[in-house]
Structure 1
Amino acid sequence: MPPPVRRLTVGVEEEFLLVDRRTGMPVARGPRVVDAARAVLEEQAQSEFFGAQVEVCTRPTTRLAELRSELALLRQVMGEAAAGEGCLLVATGTPVIPPGRPPTVTPGERYARMAVRWPSLVGSYDGMVCGCHIHIGVAGREQALALAYHMRPWLPVLQALAANSPFSLGHETGWASRRSVEHTRWPGVGPAPLLDEAGYDRLADHLVRTGTLLDRRMIYWYAPPSEHVPTLEIRLCDMNADLDVVVLLTALVRGLATVLLPEIAEGRPTPTLPESRLRGAHRLAARQGLEGDGFDPVTGESIPAVSSVERLLARAEPGLAAVGDRDLAEELFDRVRRCGGGAARQRASYQRRGRLSDVLGDLVRTTVTARA
């Protein structure tokens, strides 16, 4: 009998927008909302770069049911704190309704330095994007770097599944994930390169020393090793109002990692995928989400985006089964297949009456009513 598979730990960071209760416009009340939420959540409630954003962070866990319950509680507490400041908590990748005034950067020495270094990203709300970052526990940075490279071909599939920002600043953008487009304006965003730990340290030091990045925390690769905890961080997903989508994404990340890590230990070669094709796959995922063409990570052929998720499920199936997540992942994906992804749901909300307020209202209700 084979030895039992070790359950990898998982954790999630969720970034939210704060909008005015009456107008739906982004409002810079983040520091006050975080202060109120910390009475319950302590350090699990955090400020973000822009004052109209807040973040919550789960504790590491090995069980998805526990992760889901904690995320539901974090959303509930943060939503109540937002209501106390006259605003609403919204889980989406980009602001739906345009603001009434220029954005405000959250006070703090590091954020102030970033604002001075990259003023073009601060002068408008285009850079205000909200992501969902999934952490998977690893043995150390060397393992995280190897896992990141082996996961590269599958990350556009996760990006398509998570797409949830077709509206931005009052416009239908034509993208399923406009966040993906705007996020690339920040330095350091893109696929992770193939590096060992020594190579990572050299590159990170070079990027900081030359001023390309402010510090190592600005290594915004789609799958970077964390700088403060022993995890690989998948950080290319849009923030989703539907908590089941977040749980599904986390299940797929862990299932795939559970399959890949033994292959890496056996010395199997890294996948060969031209950089141009990989970036094209990411652009296609951002443009079409689940509604159009996708990309087969093995053959490189164009296939329906939903079929690419099915192939990811099949690739991750042994890992999902080994930790007891297979039935849950299949159930949650079947629900997405029937009801549509986040981008499709936002567009359906708009088509009812042609009002952005309907889009925002549905997002707000879904964000804070997730069952534990």
Structure 2
Amino acid sequence: MKILLIGEYSRLHNSLKEGLIALGHEVTIAGSGDYFKKYPVDIHFEIKYTKGIMLFVKKVLFRLFKIDITSLHIKKQFNSHKEKFKNYDVVQLINEKAFGTYAKTEIQLLKFVFEHNKNVYLLSCGADYTNVKFANKNKLRYSILTPYEANKEKSNEFLYILDYLSNPYKELHGFVYKNIKGVIASDIDYHLPLQENKLYLGLIPNPINTEKLKYIEPKTEGKIIIFHGINEHNYYKKGNDIFEASLKIIQEKYSEKIEVITTRSLPYDTYINMFNSAHIILDQVYSYDQGFNALEAMAKGKVVFTGAEQEWLDFYGLQKDTVCINALPDAKYIAEKLEWLILNPEKITEISKHARAFVEKEHLYTTIAEKYIKTWSPK
């Protein structure tokens, strides 16, 4: 099949592409590469006006005239590539806002995609109208909106998330759902809000290319190395403030037994190798399942603090603390779990092996690609 994947978050579409190519399909990815992360794409959209004086000009123009010059620049690039967006057997959008433009522009671009391709599917991955509305109604024990609700003076970081509840994005949501064949969830966080949706086709786990991720057997004779990779754009949303508070507790108690590595907003190719020496990875707090970065770290044999709630345990038939550690929004709790691992290093080795085996069993990129092909195929 000839397949177009629009948008890229956390390397999901790249790993899926690799799996699909291994099965004999022709695959093209279009997108920006997710800003500073710089993931590979075949049709590249440059994102301009994001810093300096032009960012200021952009904000003024949007405030006065509701004109988003970044969106207009992406639209101009799209128009120069129009022929590359026609006549695919399958098109998948990584998100309702797959091109990353303002809602009005997104509808214009997607209209062309829908008019020239019969089988377009939506992946629920990242914030969208459905899951933000679900979180806003407090239907979960905690969500990506929990830190906003607890401390609203930090609202600037959440403005783009809350935008999904505005009328323009509600209109975009309706337009997308009127034109897609179905929607697929990439993990439990997106599965829970979709369960009553008539277009929901089910959860297909994130594809991980384990051939590119070598398992690193942990050596626990010396210091335990803890890695904390911070994305400054999502500092509170990912719970980095809670991780830093837990690290302060554990450093005061076990400074001679641990080493902490902290990085900020690294490109993907740098980030994926920065934590090779680490035993423990601090990934994210407000999630029920693992995102892509967590799964890649698990594939390398790291003990990852991430989403691993009961809903996820039930889905995969697992016991807690066997393949990763559930990172609750509680610094004291996280510090206690870190202490447990520091004092029981054999647990690091045990969880490391289970983590790799879990990814190979449930997330192998070729097996996941087969699940996508089956889901996309006409019934």
Q: TM-score, normalised by structure 1?
A: 0.25
What TM-score do the two structures reach when normalised by structure 2?
0.24
Larger Rg, first or second structure (1 or 2): 2
